[in-house]
Every structure is written in structure tokens, then in C-alpha cells.
Amino acid sequence: MTFGARFVAALAERGPFCVGIDPHAALLHEWGLDDDVAGLETFALSVVEAVAPLCSMVKPQSAFYERFGSRGVAVLERVVAESRAAGALVLMDVKRGDIGTTSQAYADAYLDPASPLGSDAVTVSPFLGFGSLDPFVDTARKHDGGLFVLALTSNKEGPEVQHARTDTGETVADRMLDHLRALNADASPLGSFGAVVGATIGETGADLAFNGPILAPGFGAQGGTVDDIRRIFGASAGQVAASSSREVLRAGPDHGAMQDAVRRANDDLRGLR
């Protein structure tokens, strides 16, 4: 199955809530853990055990593992393997963007099933030009993987680039969405090339109908609501995986509390489909 087809099936079966597994130092301390590899491992694998059997997709942020070097990356490898074994899609949140052979190496690292970090999909940055993502696109097609391309993010710095006008007068974000529209043309039930669009952005006028999956970070504790998702995405709301980390992770280390947080979020979001 293509990633687009797996995405549709996962959201239908498990709901549209995506859990970010982001073990930053403050959360480790809230759990009573030390900010070291042992604390990282306990935290991350406990979250996987609690939520991966329930949610459609998990999204580990690679930076929080990389900061511990090779031993932290080894934990990330286990997060990927154990999440997929539990039936969750894995979106590796790395926001990579480069050119040529370097871009290809990143694509192989995160999308090739032979890689210890091989995931279902990866976040990428198109701001070296969308064509710089060609190795990611080709590798995703080869391995039935997916991409989530930064398009309209919620951070205050984003509009400097994303709302800038191109040589044809459209915004940079609109140009990126047009590229995704072309990549996903005629795909059924959904294309595999998605966009990252924040759950707390204001009005943009962007056309978010591009036949691909949408990741909406910022849901829940960061302020995004179901009404925001309806407002922003309109008819495309059924293609949205709303993502939160703190909403769930602060309920730990109690597994039952984390699972209840996932269930509540999915219950809130199911009406979008």
C-alpha cells in the first residue's frame, strides 16, 4: 500500500490524532527522570508502549534523541521499530532539506526500510527550492513512503518566507501546495505527498485541497482546537492528522492517563471525518 492509502486506513481505524514523542528535558524532569540516556529511554519507550497501540501515527522529533549522540539515536531506532510493531504509522520529524547526494542520503536514512531509522514518512523543508526534494520524492515512491512538506507553519517567523510573493505573484506557500497538487494528481484514495500546516495559523487564503495528507501540529496544549481545524481546512479537514505532544506526555508516566488523553483527542477529532 502507498503511504497515502495507509494514512487513510489508519485514520479511519484509529482516529486522526498523532502523538509527538518529544522527550525534552523539562518533560523528563516532570516524570522524575534524569536528563540522560537512561531517562530518555525510559520516557520514550514508556510513551510508545502506552500510545502506539491506540493512535494512528506517532511523530518522534529526532533532535531530542540526537542530542545524546549515538546512544540517543539507538533509542530512536527502538521507538521506530516498536511503534510500527504496535501498528502505528511513524512520521520521523526531522525537517531535512538539502540538495543532490546529501538529500538522497537523508531520504535513504528515513525512508528506506533497510535503514534502522526507516519510517513511514518524514517531514522535509522545501525552501532550497521544491526540486531539491526530488530524491525524497523518488525514494518515497520507491518504498511506498510519504512526505510532509513544510507549507504554512505556526511559528511567528514563518510568514517571512511562506507569505513572500514569487515571480508570478503567488505566495511561496501556495507554490509549494501547487507542487504537492501535481505530485498527488489522480492518486486514490489519497496521495502520499502531504503538507505541514499549523493548527493555529490565521487566515491565509491558501487552497488546501491538494489530495494529500495534512499534518496540523499545535493541537491541544498549544492552542489549536477542532473549530480551528474546521476553519483552516474546510472540506480538507478529513485529511488532517492533528498533532500534539504535551497534551499526552504530561499525563505520564501513568499509561492509563496517557491512553485516556489519546482517546479524548480522537473523540474530539472524529467529527471532522
Residues marked as catalytic: 95
Distance, in Å, from the CA atom of 61 to the CA atom of 89, rounded to the nearest integer, reads 14
Cell readout for 14 is 484509529
pLDDT tens by residue, 117-163? 999 999 999 999 999 999 999 999 999 999 999 999 988 899 899 98
DSSP-derived 3-state class of residue 75: helix
Is 35 strand, coil or helix? Answer: coil
Give CA–CA dist 48/44, Å, rounded.
6
**Listed residue (258, 229, 252) closest to 242, CA to CA:** 229
Label residue 234 left, alpha or beta by phi (over 0 means left) and psi (-120 to 50 means alpha). Answer: left
What are the pLDDT digits (tens) for 67-93? 999 999 999 999 999 999 999 999 999
Reported as a pLDDT band with limits 50, 70 and 90, residue 262 is: very high
Task: Please tell me the distance from the alpha carbon of residue 124 to that of residue 218, in angstroms, as a whole number.
Answer: 18
3-state class (DSSP) for residue 185 = coil
> Which of these, 10, 14, 90, lies nearest to 267 by C-alpha position?
14
In the numeric block, the cell 499545535 is attached to 218
